[in-house]
Structure 1
Amino acid sequence: MNLKKIVSLVSVALISILIVYGFVLMYQIFSGNTKFADKELYVYVPTGSDYEQVKHILEPYVKDISRFEMVAGKTSYPENVKAGRFLLKNGMNSYELVKAMKFNDPVSLAFNNQERLENFAGRVGSQIEPDSLELLNTFRDSIFLKENGFTEENVLVMFIPNTYDIYWNTSAEKFRDKMIKEYNKFWNKERTAKAAAQGLTPIQATILASIVHKESVKKDERPRIAGVYLNRMRLEMPLQADPTVIFAMKKKSNDFNQVIKRVFYNDLIMKSPYNTYVNIGLPPGPIAMPDITALEAVLNPEKNNYIYFCASVDRFGYHEFAATLAEHNVNAKKYSDWINSQGVQR
């Protein structure tokens, strides 16, 4: 066999090897490499994780981790691991998996109607990486509170209920800083001026809104209720809001899971800074996280001469309003008779 034929055979062999290698490489890169049944799922990479930890996280969902490693190595992923939340789709190939692990998918974080800072921290901690204790400590940081004019009792007013796009691995401090920016954005010049027109600061307006929020689930009625409370405040009357008494009762027992449907006279005279039957003015902090409609009701209250209201027997969820005590007593007796007939004790 002459040299020319030998070179030709070697060339053919090399080409064949390269073709086979190419097919193997293409298979490793572009064939499906997932093994979960769901259409898609999220994996979470904690802050500070390295490449080995990422592989350990992915192994339950990847058919052949070596194929993933091969592609990852060729794209410099091991040196550029990111923390966060990452979306995997069923049937992804190794290239797509590596690409997915480079895209931190934000969380649509939602919260509303939390009664206490502790409940709120738990709600947020279930959606992003920092746990509830870390969040609580950050919210209660004395320097932060002082710089922004809050106290531990009223800092809950800072959190405006909404849905926010935020990265899962956002730190507690960065989350808090984002929330104070959203708070300042909400309390623009127009809303601050509207609060001032009612004789309120933004913090006071939010505390009042929390009472309005708890008084009625009927959003169309909230401006009227806000008007009543503002009338009482102008007359320097106690607000006499049952939801503040219920909050005080829960706070005293440290049981915020209990459902209290009825308030009795002995409850109305309990000593608590949150009891607006024995204290004139607003409580030291919100009794819940008011939603936007309750806040807007306080900023845009109905102008009326009502001083009293109680739950309506005829229109479930609504209230009956009165300008005089005599009128109110009629409405109150009607409601009391009805609730007694229902056998509601607490």
Structure 2
Amino acid sequence: MNGSIVNNKLFLLFVVVFLCVVILFSIVFFFPNSFTPSPKFITVSKGQSFSSLADSLEKREIILNAFTFKIAGRLLGYTQKMRIGKYSFVSGISNLDLLNDLEGGLSTVSTSVTLREGVRAQIFARILKRHIGIDSIRFMKFFADTSLIGIYPNNSPSLEGYLMPNTYNFFWQDDEREIIQRMITEFREFFVDTLQQRMKQLGYSLNDVMTMASIVEGEAVYDDERAIIAGVYYNRLKKRMRLQADPTVLYAVSAVPRRLTRTDLKFESEYNTYLNYGLPPGPINNPGKQSIIAALYPAKHNFIYFVADNNGRHRFAKNYEEHQRNVRLYRKARALAKNGV
């Protein structure tokens, strides 16, 4: 009789323990983590520990309890299997589903990044670091590999000029080399056979054309002036005149846009077209499609000078005397604008 009572108690104890284990197991793995209806985001970075991620998930209120999430991760062996990326999670997701998402990268979201025309690769690297967490130093390391261009014999000193400006969708900490290859591919798909044939007709190399396009990009504000500006510089090359292009000097003296000084114009650099004849060694920024087309199809005219007005438009001249008149008009207009007239 006593033995039967003991057995019943042991059985009840077993049932209670079993139910507790089942409940605990359900809480750890299957209990929904509920939060506000709108999705919540979390970023998994390179080298981030599982424990740190669990704490971040709890802080962001994506999970109810970091401790139970850590238990689930360790029991399933997921602590070393997280994929880097930016994730979006909806309310009601369980720890098990969340772990599966993190292991498979199933809920990663892309980020739209606009890389504008006329910007240097160094600035692209900073923008990408800020928006998708890339290693900007590693980006610049691959930037030096000109073999990635791969469409034509090329003597460019770097990939400057060939990273096609556009709006791209990238994932968090995408591989730096793959990002560059994607931008190069965008350029290669644009620079089709007809453009390559046009380049041959002009008698210039790919590096020459892209260098000219980058100078046009640095000078032009309005699309209808790009081909005219390109024509000015080609005319100066034909006449064996120095290009005297301000953007080339700026590339040599400063990492950021600013007004040039007279001292800047005397700065010793192979990119300084006030001191050197011909084109600089390579592109000075990453030009857009309109400037590349302008470099390949320059306007035919006799202009060899131009000066910008206060609105970014340019006055073009066929000789120095005409150019000086335009400069005086520009200075007068600037003085009037400064005085509020």
TM-score greater than 0.5 by the shorter chain:
yes
- 2:190 matches 1:191: no
Equivalent residue in structure 1 for 2:303, among 301, 306, 311: 306
Relative distance call for 1:157 and 1:218 in structure 2 (3 A) is: same
Aligned counterparts of 2:146 and 2:117: Cα–Cα separation in 1: 25
For 1:287-332, what per-residue CA distance to the aligned partner results, in whole angstroms no more than 9, with x for missing partners? 322222222222333233322221236xx22111223333323212
Relative distance call for 1:141 and 1:312 in structure 2 (3 A) is: closer
Relative distance call for 1:191 and 1:269 in structure 2 (3 A) is: same
TM-superposed CA distance for 1:32, in Å, is 3.4
Partner of 1:295: 292
Equivalent residue in structure 1 for 2:318, among 300, 309, 323: 323
Give the residue type in structure 2 aligned to 1:256: A
Aligned counterparts of 1:74 and 1:267: Cα–Cα separation in 2: 65
- 2:131 matches 1:136: no
Partner of 2:174: 170
Contact 1:85 1:168 in 2 (8 A): yes
TM-superposed CA distance for 1:87, in Å, is 1.7
Identical residues among aligned pairs (%): 27
Relative distance call for 1:276 and 1:132 in structure 2 (3 A) is: same
Structure 1 residues 246-285: aligned runs within 5 Å: 246-248=250-252, 251=253, 255-257=254-256, 259-260=258-259, 263-264=261-262, 267-285=264-282
Structure 2 length-normalised TM = 0.75
Aligned to 1:157, what secondary structure does the other structure show?
coil
Contact 2:139 2:176 in 1 (8 A): yes
Relative distance call for 1:180 and 1:220 in structure 2 (3 A) is: same
Contact 1:29 1:67 in 2 (8 A): no
Partner of 1:239: 243
Relative distance call for 1:89 and 1:195 in structure 2 (3 A) is: farther
Structure 1 length-normalised TM = 0.74
Partner of 1:3: none
Aligned to 1:87, what secondary structure does the other structure show?
strand
Aligned counterparts of 1:133 and 1:282: Cα–Cα separation in 2: 28
Aligned counterparts of 1:151 and 1:191: Cα–Cα separation in 2: 18
Partner of 2:83: 82
Computed over aligned residues only, the root mean square deviation of the Cα atoms, in angstroms, reads 4.1
Q: Which runs of 5+ in 2 are unaligned?
A: 1-10
Count of aligned pairs = 325
For 1:152-202, what per-residue CA distance to the aligned partner results, in whole angstroms no more than 9, with x for missing partners? 4x4212211112233323333333333333333332212222333333323
Q: Which runs of 5+ in 1 are unaligned?
A: 1-9
Structure 1 residues 87-106: aligned runs within 5 Å: 87-89=88-90, 92-94=93-95, 97-98=98-99, 100-101=101-102, 102-103=105-106, 104-106=108-110
For 1:94-131, what per-residue CA distance to the aligned partner results, in whole angstroms no more than 9, with x for missing partners? 45534543323333333225654433322222233432
Partner of 1:6: none
Contact 2:28 2:95 in 1 (8 A): no
Aligned counterparts of 2:210 and 2:91: Cα–Cα separation in 1: 46
Contact 1:311 1:317 in 2 (8 A): yes
TM-superposed CA distance for 1:38, in Å, is 7.3
